[in-house]
Chains A and B, each alone.
Chain A
Amino acid sequence: MATVLRSKIEPVMTQTHAEVTRDIVRTLETPPRSYYLAVFGAVFLLLIGIVTFTIIIKDGLGHSGYNPPVMWSVYITTFVFWVGIGHAGTLISAILFLFRSPWRTAVYRVTEAMTVFAVMTAGLFPIIHIGRQWIFYWLLPYPNQRYLWPNFKSPLLWDVFAISTYLTVSTTFLIFGLIPDVAAVRDKVTGWRRFIYGQLSMGWQGTDNQWRHYSRAYLYLAALATPLVLSVHSVVSWDFASSIIPGWHGTIFAPYFVAGAIYSGVGMVFTLLIPLRKHLRLEHMITDYHFDNLSKLTLLTGSILFYSYSMEYFVSWYSGNTFEQTTFFLRPFGAQWWSGWTMITCNALVSQLLWFRKIRTNLTSLFVISIFINIGMWFERWVIIVSSLSNDYVPWAWGVLNPTWSDWGILAGSFGWFGMWFLLFARSFPIVAIQEVKEMIPMPRLHPDAHGGH
């Protein structure tokens, strides 16, 4: 009999359904002191952001280092960064659901929660950036005394709709997916926690009727979220691509941004998941198999970025357009050469390390790579936004941006805001989808040989 050579990296499902429930409900018990320290750290960063924002509201955006021609800078860079982070979550939870990928099951809840909190963070930035933050609602089309409507032909208004729809739909998807799991927690805990989880489970009992509607609705929500996620970062890319700034008006921007978004998002998944899995003792559920597949996704999107970067340089050279060529020459060799090289190294080059399986399954190396990805993707947006604006058409109008304490304060605050929500979520709700993991484990049979299995 021939030996069947199989990959060592494969899902191992040795648990029973009861053990799955027990292990996930255990993650919601009283957390250790290290957890409170992490929450405290996040809240501290958030306070830095709140103080900075208060000063900005009082004095205006003059603090923020804006300097013509660079009027979009750290805030918009960070906005695109956080929107991008969100994309990996919807890819893993919705698109891979439609593709029936078995490896998404154990990790999708983490990534989905990350999506919601990242988009919640991103949504703050356009508001911070507009200057008069207290009238941000003027962006919405509502009947008003000025008899004016917003400009529907502007990509910035498309963004208002895209981001708010994305936030609503991904939050819906997360909460909808949580309902059966919250019900499972409800049935395991006692006292006031039982009351709270009971209210949150909205009367879920797992009846055949509930599952019938639920499964269908979940499928449709996934099918709606799939084009939505691809559209959102495309619309974000059109904020730039539909203008005439050299370095911005690229036709490849939509797929280039979407790939970059997923790449940055998977990077953040690694950064969050590797410590979280150890902290919550879920090593037996989130295994090498998941990290290997996540790494392959990173490798794919990183390689698309590599291609996009090369193609951007090629197109600017091939266009014969002086302004394009100058912009792209100045990215690696101009005043901000360090940001150009950080972007190329961290994204295009570091991602290529993932061709090696040893690196894909070594969590320390993955964690280090994920930090490079986070930094690299922030710098990618910095390069695209700031360096393109710095050197537009006429050299006498060129200018360099000098970020100030208020830029960094808001950036720090955004990590605090995101981290705080994520940490609170991770110990209050099942971080691994109980019902979907159970769906992958066959239930015991009274007569194991009678049926051929399902």
Chain B
Amino acid sequence: MALPNPFRKPATVPGVLASFEHIDAAVDAIKALRGKGHRKLTVYVAHPNHSIEEALEAKVSPVRLFTLVGGIVGLTAATCMQIWMNRDWPVLVGGKAIVAMPAFVVIMFELTVLTSALVTLFGVAVLSVGLGRRGVIYDGRFSDDRIGVFVPADRAQSGALELMLRNAGAVEVRHAAP
């Protein structure tokens, strides 16, 4: 999968953007759309919402793999770094062994946490910005109190979709043309 160029403005995805004020109406509409085969929906909401997640039957985010890999890399790096550096220029300190593992635990722990956190951040950037859908229209009220549901569709379908979304309780419907 090729990463899209983040500096080029993407082409607008054609479709219908419905705006909901009521959570139950939005959830029912999502379920109905998915039942009709519209599975590439984009749902906007101002806060993480479980009923929307359930309606979309979203899988658990793979960001946890980034966290795990980051942690393993950090732990390995800290262990190897301390063993190598202590052997590279061996100085006896406080009667401890040159490679004194108990003394290394703190830095092993700290670097595990540090790398894990930074790689998690990188994972979110890749997954939700790099691989996210681009060119889908947006409305500023979705960060306030509205729920947005975008259905990618061609011009032939959009009339029927608008009717359906309005019947489901959408307070506003916009069309996006390429």
Q: Which residues of A contact B (CB under 8 A)?
A: 16-18, 21, 141, 147-149, 151-155, 157-158, 161-162, 165, 168-169, 172-173, 176, 180, 183-184, 186-188, 202-203, 205-217, 220-221, 224-225, 227-228, 231, 235, 238, 434-436, 438-439, 442-447, 450-451, 454
Contacts and interface: CB of A to CB of B under 8 A. Distances in A.
Nearest to B45: A206
A220 B123 CA distance: 12
Q: Name the residue among B43, B50, B120 with the largest chain A CB count within 10 angstroms.
A: B120
A187 B144 CA distance: 8
Q: Name the residue among A172, A188, A224 with the largest chain B CB count within 10 angstroms.
A: A224
Given A149-B88, A224-B117, A161 B140 contact: no
B3 interface: no
Contact of B110 (A21, A149, A231): A231
Interface of B: 21-25, 41-53, 56, 58, 60-61, 63-64, 67, 81-82, 85-86, 88-89, 91, 93-94, 96, 100, 103-104, 106-107, 109-111, 113-114, 116-118, 120-121, 123-124, 127-129, 132-133, 136, 138, 140-145, 147, 169
Nearest to B61: A216
Nearest to A435: B47
Contacts of A210: 128, 132
A172 B106 contact: no
12 contacts: A153-B103, A165-B114, A180-B47, A187-B141, A205-B143, A206-B143, A211-B53, A212-B61, A224-B120, A225-B117, A238-B106, A446-B22
Contacts, number: 197
Nearest to A182: B143
Contact of B124 (A169, A214, A235, A436): A214
Nearest to A173: B117
Nearest to A204: B143
A220 B145 CA distance: 27
Contact of B96 (A153, A180, A208): A153
Contacts of A445: 22-25
Given A16-B145, A217-B121, A206 B44 contact: yes
B27 to A, nearest CB: 9
Given A152-B103, A153-B100, A165-B113, A211 B144 contact: no
Given A180-B143, A187-B143, A208-B56, A446 B110 contact: no
Contact of A228 (B113, B120, B140): B113
Given A153-B103, A212-B53, A148 B89 contact: yes
A389 B133 CA distance: 62
A220 B143 contact: no
Given A205-B44, A444-B23, A172 B117 contact: yes
Contacts of B82: 152
Contacts of A18: 144-145
